[in-house]
Amino acid sequence: MSAVMIARKGTRKWEKLPGKNTFCCDGRVMMARQKGVFYLTLFLIIGTCSLFFGFECPYLAVHLSPAIPVFAIVLFLFVMAMLLRTSFSDPGVLPRALPEEAAFIEMEIEAANGNVPAGQRPPPRIRNVQINNQIVKLKYCYTCKIFRPPRASHCSICDNCVDRFDHHCPWVGNCVGKRNYRYFYLFTLSLSLLTIYIFAFDIVHVVLRSVDSGFVNTLKETPGTYPFKPRLTGERSLWTPNQPRN
Amino acid sequence: MAETHSLQDLRQQAAIASKVFIQRDYTSGTICKFQTKFPSELETRIDKQQFEETIQTLNNLYAEAEKLGGKSYLEGCLACLTAYTIFLCMETHYEKVLKKITKYIQEQNEKVYAPLGLLLTDPIERGLRVVEITIYEDRSSR
């Protein structure tokens, strides 16, 4: 019994994975090595949304409806959930062949190729497979030592074969494959919705304020000048040639 | 418990003679299905019927896992509405069937294959590419 118990406390599978991935939280989080662009994505989304919530939402909630910021918050949380789910989950990495299987495949390939005269390049390693009355060629992956299943591809950035590989997305910091395609698609869809929503309500906000106090005054009062307000009180503003300032 | 203990013992003591790899059967599309063709290396070890029955049951279980019906549709809609946070509490239908498959393979190993000196490896450990059957040396000690 003790031998089995010790085996369980040994190395986890993610610790032995030969690809170039980083893992966190005891293997629950799986990302690519380069994460810089992912942090930029996070910064852009959180930055623009917090500006919207900070400056536009108070006005819109009072003058139009409190449902507007509530829906924006729900949409923002959905976008963040999808982004984190896409970035942190396994895209569908195929485990590399263990030595016995690799040897078995090598023998199969050699048997199929027959004798290659010395000096000539051996033919490419291809396995023909019939799928629904169509012949599909499965390519051999030299790194993973497997014949890739249909629609699988090898990601050179993460150094793994991924099932139903779409692309490696630097914005998300991970490959997009079979197991996280759904989350990636929902992320792009909901982010587009959020962008359009924020843009539309920005325009509504500027229009409403302009109706109240005129377009030029709106530009003076709206968020672009908020950070600069304390500094402007003592100076003459370029926008107000007619109004003297104290 | 005592049975699995002796199974572990067998695996540790017996030497591996060779491994057979049952490939995927793509003739009916890209669904997960394994070839039921009986490999020649197993001819001396196991009954052809028994082997085919095991592989056929596995194929049926994978078909059940990938089945798209009303239940899986509802599960998907509910999950989407909760931004997939519901999967922190419950398992997907596919994961439930995968667990069932692991149990089935374990049970088959204990009842049928270990006494014959064979061991089935769960295909999920190999990325659903092959069913790996380890053939142990024929120890005629009794």
Token pair of A111 as six digits: 């048997």
Q: Is A169 a catalytic residue?
A: yes
Separation in Å, CA B123 to CA B32, B44, B66, B105: 10, 23, 15, 10
Amino acid at B13: Q
Please state the pTM of the whole predicted model: 0.84
- Cα A157 from Cα A159, distance rounded (Å): 6
Compute the mean pLDDT over every residue in chain A, rounded to the nearest whole number. Answer: 84
pLDDT at A49: 95
- Cα A65 from Cα A57, distance rounded (Å): 10
Cβ-Cβ pairs closer than 8 A, A with B, add up to 48
Instruction: Mark yes or no for CB contact A149/B129 under 8 Å.
Output: yes
Whether the predicted interface score ipTM is above 0.95? no
Range scoring the smallest mean pLDDT among A6-10, B12-16, B72-76: A6-10
The pLDDT tens digits of the residues spanning B79-108 come to 999 999 999 899 999 999 999 999 999 999
Taking the Cβ of residue B127 and every Cβ of chain A, the question of whether any pair is shorter than 8 Å is answered with yes
Taking the Cβ of residue B69 and every Cβ of chain A, the question of whether any pair is shorter than 8 Å is answered with no
Range scoring the smallest mean pLDDT among A59-63, A113-117, B95-99: A113-117
Range scoring the smallest mean pLDDT among A61-75, A115-129, A197-211: A115-129
pLDDT at A200: 94
C-beta of residue B120 within 8 angstroms of C-beta of residue B50: no
